[in-house]
Structure formats: C-alpha cells, structure tokens
Amino acid sequence: MDEHPEYAQDFADVEAALRSMTEVQPGRDNPFLHLSMHLSITEQCSIDQPRGIRQAVELLTHQRNSLHHAHHEVMQCLGKMLQESQSAGRPPDGEAYIACVQRHATRD
C-alpha cells in the first residue's frame, strides 16, 4: 500500500471496498487486482515458481533500478499469460511468461 497511495481511498471503508471489488471502471486499474498481482509476483519470486521467474525479475529490477517498476512490467506478462491460457483452455505457459519478462529486461 505504501507504493500505491492512490488506492488508500479505495480501501478506507471496508464495506464499500468489498462492494466495489468486482466493479470495472473504464480507464482505471482495479486496485484489488493490481495489489494481488504485486503479491503474486512476490510469491512467485520467493519460491522461484515458475522456475526462472526469480532471476528474470531480478534482471528486470536491475535494469529498471526499481522492484516496483519491474513488477508493473511483469504484470503485463502475467496478464498476457493468464489471458492466453484462459482463451485456449490450457494450463498457463510459464516458459512464455518468463521469456516475456526477459524481453522486457533487454529492451530500453
């Protein structure tokens, strides 16, 4: 939450937050999804699952000089992987996910 003070109001009232949790607001990220993705990426790196994600995120973090900014780029790859998995009705492709993160790390 420290990295995203813009979401403080979204979580100030627990009952209102729970009611709005699934709302889609055009032009605005869902704070629940956004923070959940940060947590997911942190967990993936802590256990290196899928294998190689820790190293890919560390490389991206080094290139961006910010773990937080790296997470935002990783989120793009994570979202793409999940969307493709759901659309195709197959398990998530961890190798493609890691390759996507690595591509982000090698571009300026």
Which 8-state DSSP code applies to residue 28?
Answer: S
pLDDT for the residue 44:
98
Q: Other C-beta atoms within 10 Å of 74: how many?
A: 28
| CA 16 – CA 40 distance, rounded (Å) | 24
Taking residues 14-43, report their average pLDDT.
85
CB 91 within 8 A of CB 85: yes
Q: Is the pLDDT reported for residue 84 higher than 80?
A: yes
Taking residues 5-23, report their average pLDDT.
81
Taking residues 51-69, report their average pLDDT.
96
Taking residues 29-44, report their average pLDDT.
92
Angle between helices 67-88 and 31-47 (to 10 degrees): 100
pTM for the structure as a whole: 0.86
